[in-house]
């Protein structure tokens, strides 16, 4: 009966529709947005946990900064080293829910990939040096005299081809620019080296000729590139086991226990690939996603850049390859144009119609003539660190391959960090391992602790096929003083081939460590256990959840959650005020009815129940519809999936699509919210209603 009274009262007043609408909107919003955020949180958890962080991160409790895996507010964090990693690993892995503790340390290096002229000249210089027996490079060591001669000839041809390109450039410039704008010295220099005579007499003064090329010609090509390489030093074997989303894309994994480097595939593509090829790929991708070159400004820009920036490609080709490329392009484009730059520019004028075919032609016919990547799989990457003391620490690591995390292939956040073995990482930071110390001592005895000067070090760093020098950001711990005496032999292949035992890998310092759990749902419990164990056993580490460890990134979800809560509070706040007012009005209107009920024997409690039932019914009906609609919307979204709007979103979506999942917790919370809102907003009018005197029955309604 009360419900019937409530129901009929509700039907009688149109304002209830407005209130209901508000409750409905609030509930719907809460269910859908809350569900989305939860799903986003889950997806992000999968991304963060599965790519770098693990469930829990450990770092030294003495650190000044908090750990922020994806970068904090102000640059690099100041983390202290964790010195007792083996004990920590052993202790924690005995804990009930801990599956694995993976050691880590991350840093970044600025890679100064010299421009193609520098690199080619450097190569030529090294070949000459090797022939004179002045250079002991592992890659050139075993070549015969004839092989060296052949390589020198080929490299010289390449340099001459480069000069031809420069000469053509200069002619073009002369046609366009006014005379004053052109440096006559440069013109003279280019003219000199383009003559056969220069090359004929080249070896009369090999070093002088090389120097002339290096000083006068190389500076004309200024498109050297700086790349920032972020890397994570870790126990590669454990890492690969624990982060099972990690997949090798090109090459192989680093052999067990060995030093090695794995480049993040996205980084490899974005930064190390020949720009023209990369842009062609991106155009193809965009077309596959339904974007049109004809209408899309970004794609138009790609085409324009591809047409204008062919230098990288042209300079890579020696005379024979230039002729071959010219021939192939003439055939493909049905053109008689003889200039490769012009042909390439025509070729790269891709449209929606011809892109597919040109992409194919590029990879089938042109790509084999050039190096598509600045760093090839199998190359040795030299990464240099200048320590606080100014000394160079450099390590050679072999690039075994590239990797990506399944589902996160396109995410710059997941794909921005490359992987390095822990031994090399420690070397760069100046953390000395036992064998390295031994080796250093030996070296010092051999060389008489000759200090390495920068120039010599760089000489040593360029080797055949190795075009990249990376400078690591300064190590945060002062290197062992003995390291200043490191000779170049340290960086050579003996170390590259060494196999380290598990104990050696774990045996040094690390900056942080990832803890993988058996049961992720018990994260907070295990986190507490770890912290308790750590302080009980004086492990001097701090454990934080992946959310905390991911720095700003971890806050993003919390931020959105905050916004949602505010929005829901706002809507329900308004709903509460309106419900309150409406119920007050309804109560006043019904004074006589309520008075009558009281007069004929209804207790106050009944009046209270009646009014509360009324808004309860209202809340349940509209809240229920809100929940149903919300659930339906979620089911629809789940079936359809939300495509990631951009590359960054891949990380948050943990893949190309977010498949939102509705959690029962959300539904329960929604119900509780509706319940509270209706109860709170009706309580006051309901109490007022109980105060209505039965005397009011006798008075006519106003």
Partner 1 sequence: MNAIVSIRDVVKEYQLGTTVVQALRGVSLEVQKGEFLSIAGPSGSGKTTLLNLIGCVDTATRGVVEVAGKDTAKLSERELTDLRLNTIGFIFQSFNLVSVLTLFQNVEFPLLLQRKLGAKERRDKVMQLLEQVGLHTHAKHRPSELSGGQRQRVAVARALVTDPLLVLADEPTANLDSTTGNQIIDLMKTLNQQKGTTFIFSTHDHKVMQHANAVIRLADGKVLERVSAREAVEHALSLGEAPQAEARA
Report the interface residues with partner 1, using CB under 8 A.
1, 4-5, 8-9, 12, 592-593, 596-604, 606, 693-695, 697-698, 700-701
| C-beta of 129 vs 598, nearer to partner 1 | 598
Q: Which residues contact 467 (CB under 8 A, 6 or more apart)?
A: 113, 114, 119, 374, 375, 379
| C-beta of 90 vs 693, nearer to partner 1 | 693
Q: How far is the CB of 587 from partner 1 (least distance, A)?
A: 14
Q: How far is the CB of 4 from partner 1 (least distance, A)?
A: 8
| C-beta of 303 vs 597, nearer to partner 1 | 597
Phi-psi region of 547 (alpha: psi -120 to 50; beta: other; left: phi over 0): alpha
Residue 492 is classified by DSSP as S
Ordered DSSP codes for 635-658: HHHHHH-EE-SSHHHHHHHTSSEE
Q: How far is the CB of 523 from partner 1 (least distance, A)?
A: 54
Q: How far is the CB of 6 from partner 1 (least distance, A)?
A: 9
Q: How far is the CB of 545 from partner 1 (least distance, A)?
A: 55
| C-beta of 252 vs 693, nearer to partner 1 | 693
Q: How far is the CB of 42 from partner 1 (least distance, A)?
A: 48
The count of other CB atoms within 10 Å of the CB of residue 60 is 21
CA 574 to chain centre: 42
| CA pair distance 27, 639, nearest whole angstrom | 21
| C-beta of 8 vs 360, nearer to partner 1 | 8
Q: How far is the CB of 585 from partner 1 (least distance, A)?
A: 16
| C-beta of 61 vs 596, nearer to partner 1 | 596
Instruction: From residue 304, give the alpha-carbon distance in Å to each of 310, 316, 342, 404, 645.
Output: 11, 21, 14, 30, 25
* SS3 call for 21: helix
Instruction: From residue 172, give the alpha-carbon distance in Å to each of 169, 212, 237, 362, 413.
Output: 5, 24, 55, 27, 43
For 439-464, give the secondary structure using H, E and C. Answer: HHHHHHHHHCCCCCCHHHHHHHHCEC
Pull the structure tokens for residue 259: 């030093």
Q: How far is the CB of 617 from partner 1 (least distance, A)?
A: 13
Which stretches within 132-194 are classed as H helix? 145-176, 184-194
| C-beta of 116 vs 692, nearer to partner 1 | 692
First to last CA, the chain: 27
Q: Which residues contact 608 (CB under 8 A, 6 or more apart)?
A: 686, 687, 689, 690
Q: How far is the CB of 697 from partner 1 (least distance, A)?
A: 6
In our burial notation (b when 16+ CB lie closer than 10 A, e otherwise), range 291-302 reads eebeeeeebeeb
Q: How far is the CB of 576 from partner 1 (least distance, A)?
A: 25
Name beta bridge partners: 512. Answer: 59, 104
| C-beta of 9 vs 631, nearer to partner 1 | 9
| C-beta of 621 vs 633, nearer to partner 1 | 621
* SS3 call for 113: strand
| C-beta of 16 vs 97, nearer to partner 1 | 16
Q: How far is the CB of 678 from partner 1 (least distance, A)?
A: 20
| C-beta of 283 vs 617, nearer to partner 1 | 617
Write phi, then psi, for 409 (nearest 5 degrees). -55, -35
- Of the candidates 451, 402, 393, 461, the one whose C-alpha atom is nearest the C-alpha of residue 425 is 393
| CA pair distance 254, 591, nearest whole angstrom | 83
Compute and round to an integer the Cα radius of gyration of the chain.
35
Q: How far is the CB of 687 from partner 1 (least distance, A)?
A: 15
| C-beta of 538 vs 699, nearer to partner 1 | 699
């Amino acid at each position: 009966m009360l419900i019937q009274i409530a129901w009929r009262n509700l039907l009688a007043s149109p304002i209830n529709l407005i209130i209901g609408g508000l409750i409905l909107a609030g509930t719907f919003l809460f269910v859908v947005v809350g569900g989305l955020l939860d799903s986003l949180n889950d997806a992000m958890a999968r991304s963060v946990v599965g790519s770098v962080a693990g469930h829990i991160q450990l770092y030294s409790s003495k650190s000044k900064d908090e750990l922020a895996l994806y970068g904090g507010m102000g640059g690099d964090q100041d983390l202290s080293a964790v010195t007792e990693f083996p004990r920590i690993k052993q202790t924690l892995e005995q804990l009930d829910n801990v599956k694995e503790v993976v050691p880590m340390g991350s840093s970044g290096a600025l890679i100064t990939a010299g421009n193609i002229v520098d690199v080619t000249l450097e190569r030529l210089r090294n070949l000459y040096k090797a022939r004179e027996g002045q250079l002991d490079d592992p890659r050139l060591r075993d070549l015969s005299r004839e092989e060296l001669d052949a390589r020198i000839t080929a490299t010289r041809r390449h340099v001459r081809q480069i000069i031809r390109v420069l000469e053509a450039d200069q002619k073009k410039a002369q046609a366009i620019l006014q005379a004053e704008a052109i440096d006559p010295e440069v013109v003279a220099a280019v003219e000199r080296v383009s003559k056969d005579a220069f090359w004929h007499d080249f070896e009369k003064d090999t070093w002088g000729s090389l120097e002339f090329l290096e000083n006068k010609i190389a500076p004309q090509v200024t498109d050297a590139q700086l790349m920032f390489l972020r890397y994570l030093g870790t126990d590669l074997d454990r890492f690969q086991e624990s982060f099972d989303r990690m997949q090798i894309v090109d090459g192989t994994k680093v052999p067990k226990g060995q030093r090695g480097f794995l480049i993040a595939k996205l980084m490899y593509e974005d930064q190390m690939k020949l720009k023209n090829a990369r842009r062609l790929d991106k155009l193809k991708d965009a077309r596959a996603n339904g974007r049109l070159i004809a209408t899309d400004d970004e794609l138009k820009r790609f085409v324009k850049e591809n047409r204008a920036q062919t230098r990288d490609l042209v300079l890579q080709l020696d005379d024979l390859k230039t002729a071959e490329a010219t021939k192939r392009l003439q055939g493909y484009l049905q053109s008689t144009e003889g200039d490769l730059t012009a042909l390439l520019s025509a070729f790269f004028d891709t449209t929606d119609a011809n892109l597919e075919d040109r992409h194919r032609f590029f990879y089938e016919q042109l790509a084999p003539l050039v190096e598509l990547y600045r760093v090839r799989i199998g190359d040795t990457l030299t990464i240099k660190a200048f320590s606080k003391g100014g000394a160079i620490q450099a390590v050679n690591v072999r690039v075994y391959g590239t990797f990506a995390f399944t589902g996160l292939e396109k995410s710059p956040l997941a794909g921005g960090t490359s992987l390095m073995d822990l031994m090399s990482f420690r070397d760069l930071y100046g953390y000395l391992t036992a064998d390295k110390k031994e080796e250093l001592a030996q070296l010092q005895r051999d060389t008489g602790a000759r200090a390495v000067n920068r120039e010599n070090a760089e000489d040593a760093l360029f080797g055949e096929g190795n075009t990249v020098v990376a400078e690591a950001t300064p190590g945060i711990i002062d290197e062992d003083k003995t390291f200043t005496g490191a000779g170049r032999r340290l960086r050579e292949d003996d170390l590259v081939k060494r196999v380290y035992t598990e104990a050696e890998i774990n045996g040094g310092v690390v900056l942080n460590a990832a803890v993988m759990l058996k049961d992720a749902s018990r994260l907070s419990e295990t986190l507490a256990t770890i912290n308790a164990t750590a302080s009980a056993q004086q492990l001097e580490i701090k454990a934080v959840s992946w959310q905390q460890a991911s720095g700003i990134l971890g806050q993003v979800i919390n931020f959105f959650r905050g916004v949602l809560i505010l929005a829901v509070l706002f809507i329900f706040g308004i709903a509460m005020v309106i419900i309150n007012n409406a119920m007050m009005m309804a109560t006043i209107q019904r004074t006589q009815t309520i008075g009558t009920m009281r007069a004929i024997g209804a207790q106050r409690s009944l009046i209270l129940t009646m009014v509360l039932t009324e808004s309860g019914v209202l809340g349940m009906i509209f809240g229920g519809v809100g929940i149903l609609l919300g659930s339906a919307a979620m089911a629809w979204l789940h079936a359809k999936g939300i495509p990631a709007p951009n590359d960054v979103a891949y990380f948050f979506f943990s893949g190309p699509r977010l498949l939102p999942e509705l959690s029962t917790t959300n539904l329960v919370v929604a119900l509780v919210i509706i319940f509270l809102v209706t109860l709170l907003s009706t309580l006051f009018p309901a109490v007022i209603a109980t105060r209505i005197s039965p005397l009011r029955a006798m008075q006519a309604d106003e």
